[in-house]
Chains A and B, each alone.
Chain A
Amino acid sequence: MDTRHSLINVAGLSFLLVDPNPHSCAIIHGILRGFGATRVVEARTADDAINVLIDQKIDMMMVEPKLEDGKGLAFIRSIRQDPNNPIRTIPILVVTGDTRTSIIKGARDCGANMVIAKPTSPAVLYERLTWVALHPRSFAETGTYFGPDRRFKIEELPDGTGKRGVDKDVTVATDEGRAMSQKEVDSPLHVTRVGGPG
């Protein structure tokens, strides 16, 4: 999918940004406002975010994994794993400056739809939002995982450049690993169908 000529409508949608850093939040908030979002709620902690979700209807979440005590990914997992949660399948983007492979793998395995590397830009955020909206992925449920199907074939990248040579070769390291660029961050979340379910 080439997003260069795409159109989106985010006015009327409710976004929840969960990030302990108000300045980092302000940047994403500003970008979303520029895209036409009229309702963006901020939460600094996982507990604050839970309270927002109880009180308000949210259509998309962006979560920094490094909430207090590293609760960010656990927070996402708690939403995905609760079969009674009405927003169990809400799109969740992980937004992080820490792009070590362990973090990216953790984001994928807790059920995030996508990872966005900080610092982000309007162009990157636009492409990722468009990607999530125009490529709805099936959710997979196994004994240990509930979230967007981690095995999906990528036909074309959001920037319209087509599939990269590295897409099939991605393996997610088991150790902390090196930091990755946004393009590399996308790869572990774009693995092609090679293994078993989930």
Chain B
Amino acid sequence: MSVKADGSYREIKVDDKFGQHVRSPTRLSRDAAIKRAEAELRLIQPRIEDYVKLESKSLEAALMAARQKDECYVTNIRNTYVASQNIRDVADSIGYSLIGFIATSLCTIIEATDAAAIECPAAIFDCYYQALRLALTRKYVKKSLKELPELSAGLLQTVHIVKGLAVRAADAKTSVAKQS
């Protein structure tokens, strides 16, 4: 480790054990490493699939509850967000692209509405509920987004619509604040 100091700024050269070890002899090629990693993922795939299906059921229930827009709205949105995050983080890694896309889009929608402090239209929850039910069917569960261009484009459109609502709400708040 070498140090170069310049006033309040110091630059420290670091070459740690991680770097040295990774570069050491007896190394695995990229292709072999990836092939072996994919084999490892196949071993844990059933466990992750069960988890995604379980979380998807939670998400279905949360979406149904959120569309009611009752006094539990905040809790229901939080539940929707948590289930969506859980699915988003793992689904694509095991080939559940459509479910992963649905969850990712829902996360984006909830983050946008949350940042703008607006409620998400109930029709959006309906849309995602239906999309999720479809994605969970045997016919669709392993389909890629490329195989479903209309559905993925439609879901993307809902993201754009909600983001537009959020931007307009933020602009309206800014102009009200300026006037007052």
Contacts and interface: CB of A to CB of B under 8 A. Distances in A.
Interface of A: 3-13, 21, 23-24, 26-27, 30-36, 59-60, 66, 89-91, 97-98, 100, 118-123, 125-126, 129-130, 132-134, 136-143, 149, 175-176, 178-179, 197-198
B41 A142 contact: no
Contact of A138 (B11, B36, B37): B11
B9 A198 contact: yes
Given A9-B26, A97-B85, A136 B16 contact: yes
Contacts of B34: 34, 122-123, 126
B19 interface: yes
Contacts of A5: 29-30
A149 B16 CA distance: 15
Given A7-B27, A143-B8, A23 B33 contact: no
Interface in B10-44: 10-19, 21-30, 33-41, 43-44
A9 B39 CA distance: 18
Given A10-B21, A13-B21, A119-B88, A27 B41 contact: yes
A59 B21 contact: yes
Contacts of B115: 175-176
Interface stretch (B60-68, B90-98, B130-138, B146-154): B90-98
Given A12-B21, A143-B8, A27 B28 contact: no
Contacts, number: 176
Contacts of B10: 140-142
B90 to A, nearest CB: 5
Contact of A6 (B11, B16, B30, B40): B30
B51 interface: yes
A30 B146 CA distance: 27
Contacts of A4: 30
Contact of B37 (A60, A91, A97, A122): A122
Nearest to A198: B9
Contacts of A141: 9-12
B178 interface: no
Contacts of A140: 9-12
B28 A9 contact: yes
B86 interface: yes
A35 B108 contact: no
Contacts of B35: 34
B30 A9 contact: no
B48 interface: yes
B107 A97 contact: yes
Nearest to B11: A138
Nearest to A89: B14
Given A27-B90, A98-B85, A140-B9, 14 more contacts: A7-B28, A9-B25, A9-B26, A13-B18, A23-B51, A27-B44, A119-B92, A119-B100, A122-B33, A126-B33, A133-B23, A136-B15, A136-B19, A142-B8
Interface string B105-125: 001100100010000000000
A147 B168 CA distance: 39
B111 A176 contact: yes
B89 A9 contact: no
B47 interface: yes
A151 to B, nearest CB: 11
Contacts of A7: 27-30
B6 interface: yes
A149 to B, nearest CB: 7
